[in-house]
Amino acid sequence: MSRATLLPSGKATHAAGRPRVARGPRRKDALAAPPTRRKQPVQKRAEFTVAAIIDAARELLLKHGADAVTTRQVAARAGVAVGTLYQYFPDRDAILMHLASQIMDEEVDRTTHQLANLYRHPLRELMGALYERSIEVERRMQALDRDFHRRHARHLNFGLSLKDRISIQPQNTETLIASALRMMSDHRGEVRETDRDLASFMIVRGMRNVMTTLVEERPDLLASPSLAPMLTRLAMAIFDLATERADDGRDEVGFSPAASP
C-alpha cells in the first residue's frame, strides 16, 4: 500500500497527513562539480598531445568563435583521434575549463603585482583596481562561451586564484577572508566598521556572490561602465570608510548640512 494518500483537492500527502512540499528546480548548473580532465599527462608525448589539443581549441576559439570548439573539430585541428582526446578531456566543457584556468593564471600574475603596488594606497583606489581586474576576467571568461561561463561562474572565482601578497600559495576562502581582515587592520585609519569579521566575510563572499549572480542572471550587465564604480561604492559602505563621510558632506544620520532647516 502506498505511503501517500490523496486530499480531496488531489494533492499528495505523506502517511502522517502532512502535504507534500513542492520543490523548485534544483540549481544543478551552479552546484555541480566543475568539469575536469580525465587524467594528467605523465610522459612527454602525452604532455605534447594535451598541449596540442589546448592550442587547437584556442585557435578555433579565436578564429571561429565558441561554437567551433567541439571535441571533433578540436581533435581534427590538433591532429589526434577523437578517442585520444577523450582520454584526457571527457567533453567540450573540460577543454573550455582548461582554457579558463590558463586565462585565470595570466590575470593572477598581472593582478598580484598591480595590487602589491597599490596595497598602501587608499582603500578606494585599491578596491577599485581589484574590481576592474575582476570584471575584466569575467569578460574574458564570457568570451570563451557565454553559456559555459554562466553555468560554471561559481567555479571560476578570480579572488580564490589570487595569491596572497606575501605568499606564493593560492588562496582558499578562509585565507582570503584572513587577508581581508589583515587589509582592514593595515588600513585601520580609514576603516570605521567595528565588526571586522562580518565586514571581511561580506567583502570576500558577499561581493563575490553579487558578481556570480550577475553573471548567471544578467551577463549583459558585465559591459556596463558603471559596474566597477558601483562595486567599489558597495565595498566602501561595508568598510564604513572615514573619508566617505567627509567627502560627501553628510553628517552621521546622512543629511547634508546645507539641506538642514
- Examine the pLDDT at 146 and tell me if it is beyond 70: yes
Q: Can you give the CATH number for the domain in which 108 is found?
A: 1.10.357
Could you tell me if residue 35 is inside a domain?
no
For every residue of 62-93, DSSP letters joined together read HHH-GGG--HHHHHHHHTS-HHHHHHH-SSHH
pLDDT digit string (tens) for 206-257?
Answer: 988 899 899 889 999 999 999 999 999 999 999 998 765 545 444 443 434 4
- Examine the pLDDT at 47 and tell me if it is beyond 90: no
Angstrom distance (rounded) from CA 239 to CA 43: 51
pLDDT of res. 202: 95
pLDDT of res. 168: 53
Q: Is residue 110 located within the same domain as residue 154?
A: yes
Decide: 74 and 95 in contact? Cβ < 8 Å.
yes
Q: Can you give the CATH number for the domain in which 72 is found?
A: 1.10.10.60
Q: Is residue 206 located within the same domain as residue 186?
A: yes
Q: Is residue 103 located within the same domain as residue 232?
A: yes
Check residues 142 and 236 and name the one with the higher pLDDT.
Answer: 236
Q: Is residue 185 located within the same domain as residue 211?
A: yes
Domain assignment of residue 102, given as a range: 92-239
Could you tell me if residue 149 is inside a domain?
yes
Q: How sure is the predictor about 27, in pLDDT bands with cuts at 50, 70 and 90?
A: very low
Angstrom distance (rounded) from CA 119 to CA 113: 10
pLDDT of res. 44: 80
Write down the pTM of the prediction: 0.67
Number of domain units in the chain: 2
pLDDT digit string (tens) for 63-108?
Answer: 888 888 899 999 999 999 999 999 999 988 899 888 888 888 888 8
Q: Is residue 137 located within the same domain as residue 53?
A: no
CA-to-CA separations, 69 to 90, 139, 149, in angstroms, rounded:
14, 18, 14
CA-to-CA separations, 121 to 79, 126, 148, 157, in angstroms, rounded:
51, 6, 36, 25
Q: Is residue 84 located within the same domain as residue 98?
A: no
Could you tell me if residue 108 is inside a domain?
yes
